Amino acid sequence: MNGGQLMQEALRIKPSLKVIIASGYSTEDAKAPQGTAALRLTKPFDLSQPRRALETV
C-alpha cells in the first residue's frame, strides 16, 4: 500500500479525517478526494511550510 492508497482507505473509514500529503510526486499520484480536508506539500519544502499546513488543517 502506498501513501495515496493509505489516505484513501483512512478517509473511507473516517471521512472527517484531516490529511497532509507530503510528496515529491505529481499531484495526480496522491490526490485527495473532493471535499476532504487535505493539504498537499510538494517536496522539497522549507521547514515553515509543514507548520503552516498544521495550522491550516
Tally of structural domains, the chain: 1
Task: Give me the pLDDT at residue 28, please.
Answer: 53
C-alpha cell at 24: 515529491
More confident position, 5 or 31? 5
Q: How much is the average pLDDT of 3-22? A: 86
Task: Give me the pLDDT at residue 38, please.
Answer: 73
Q: How much is the average pLDDT of 24-33? A: 59
- Of all residues in the chain, the percent with pLDDT exceeding 90 is 5
For residues 16 and 19, what is the distance between their CA atoms, to the nearest angstrom? 9
DSSP H/E element including 39? strand 37-42
Instruction: Quickly count: other Cβ atoms within 10 Å of residue 30's Cβ.
Output: 22
C-alpha cell at 27: 499531484
C-alpha cell at 20: 497532509
Q: Find the domain containing 49 and state its range.
A: 3-56
For residues 27 and 24, what is the distance between their CA atoms, to the nearest angstrom? 9
Residue 5 pLDDT level (bands cut at 50, 70, 90) = confident
